[in-house]
Amino acid sequence: MATATLAKMQKMLKGIVPDIELAYKAELVDEILELKREKGAIILGHNYMEPALYHTIPDVVGDSLELSRKAAEAKEDIIVFCGVRFMAETAKILSPEKTVLLPAKVAGCSLASSITAADVRELKARYPGVPVVTYINTYADVKAETDICCTSGNAVAVVESLPGDSVIFIPDEYLAKNVARETGKHIIFPSKRAINDPDNQLDVQMVGWRGRCEVHDQFTPQDVENVRKQFPDVVVLAHPECPPEVVEAADFSGSTTAMVKYVQATNAPRYLMLTECSMADNIVAANPEKEMVGLCSIRCPHMNEITLEETRDALKFMQYQIEVPEEIRKPAYRAVERMLAIG
Ligand code: 13P
Ligand code: SF4
């Protein structure tokens, strides 16, 4: 009986996770911690994991950038990635000698599936010599075609690190627009014109792609206005994958970890988090004095595939192992390494 674990979980998660679930989940948590010790594994958990998982089994939690860094430094031979596939793939790109496990067969991402390696090759042919910045939310073969990766935590720094004035920034339309605004660049989205159409070259300050996060795409400026009307003292935080009008209407925008830190460091009467809904629950569990406005509960269906049961099975049956062919991994590694070198 997982009495000590249950007591800890009840203390932290009461009112966030129903009591009836806590008893069952505490048993699973103990089983996972035992398997983790036995196998000598490390568990990395993204900020969007559900509270009973987030606050119990990961050795490290964080945003995509922090978890990439941790994956690169990990001493353990087995990395269990409680996040989505592109994150686990990034861990494998950085540590090919390690066994990287994703506790769900698919765990995709609407941004990662919005673009293919062939699309990137076409963009490069259309804008020869223009460097390609790829959001980390892409699959390994797309990263392999590009010059440098970025995350929501360093996108502006990565774009500003490039020598010229032009950049291809893929695949998130909104992140690209938000970065364009911050860096003062004019952004265009290529039409289906022929590759050699001279109009393609008219303005290549920033070339975007029309991928979108299916979660952040749902927030509107009207949401912000409605909440501000009811709670004039609310502080609004928006992830940079939200539409630019939403980011503009917010008080703060940053990566998931930047949002967590912002709430921890400030003392507003209440906060509205325009991002995946587990984040607000995870913050409140660790900081019970903070008040969150429960605008809506938009759960990422892909992050939601990662459960305690699946994580237990990942360790028990060593599934699902991430593989990246060496001819893709090497160029993808260069793009991720360049990003990590930016600091
Ligand atoms: P972060 O890098 O900010 O954690 O974002 C990852 C993500 O998938 C957001 O939807
Ligand atoms: Fe992808 Fe959006 Fe889910 Fe993040 S929240 S993993 S960007 S679909």
Indicate whether this model's pTM tops 0.85: yes
Contacts (Cβ under 8 Å, ≥6 apart) of 12: 55, 285, 286
Q: How far is the CA of 109 from the centre of ligand 2 (A)?
A: 5
Q: Is residue 340 part of a domain?
A: no
Q: How far is the CA of 303 from the centre of ligand 2 (A)?
A: 7
Considering only CA atoms, which residue is closest to atom 7 of ligand 2? 213
Q: Is residue 295 part of a domain?
A: no
Instruction: Identify the nearest ligand to the CA of 151 by its number.
Output: 1
Quote the DSSP letter at residue 321.
B
Q: Is residue 328 part of a domain?
A: no
Q: Let me know whether 160 and 181 are in one domain.
A: yes
Burial (CB count <10 Å: 0-12, 13-18, 19+), residue 176: buried
- Pull the structure tokens for residue 59: 């050795």
Q: Residue 98 corresponds to which amino acid?
A: K
Q: How far is the CA of 333 from the centre of ligand 2 (A)?
A: 22
Neighbour order of strands in the sheet with 270-274:
252-253, 234-238, 270-274
Pocket of ligand 2 from Cβ distances under 6 Å: 84, 109-111, 137, 213-215, 241, 276, 300, 302-303
Q: How far is the CA of 18 from the centre of ligand 2 (A)?
A: 26
Q: Is residue 327 part of a domain?
A: no
The H or E element that residue 78 is part of is strand 78-82
Query: pLDDT at position 84, please?
Result: 98
Atom from ligand 1 closest to the CA of residue 300: 10
Considering only CA atoms, which residue is closest to atom 8 of ligand 2? 109
For the Cβ of 241 lying below 6 angstroms from any atom of ligand 1, the answer is yes
8 A C-beta contact, residue 324 and residue 102: no
Domain hosting residue 34, numbered range? 3-109+303-317
Total of domains in the chain: 3
Contacts (Cβ under 8 Å, ≥6 apart) of 79: 41, 42, 44, 71, 88, 91, 95, 98, 99, 100, 101
Tens of each residue's pLDDT in the chain, 343 residues: 579 999 999 999 999 999 899 999 999 999 999 999 999 999 999 999 999 999 999 999 999 989 988 998 999 999 999 999 999 999 999 999 999 999 999 999 999 999 999 999 999 999 999 999 999 999 999 999 999 999 999 999 999 999 988 999 999 999 999 999 999 999 989 877 666 666 666 667 999 999 999 999 999 999 999 999 999 999 999 999 999 999 999 999 999 999 999 999 999 999 999 999 999 999 999 999 999 997 767 899 999 999 999 999 999 999 999 999 999 999 999 999 999 999 6
Q: Let me know whether 104 and 8 are in one domain.
A: yes
- In whole angstroms, give the CA distance from residue 244 to residue 42: 37
- CATH of residue 172's domain is 3.40.50.10800
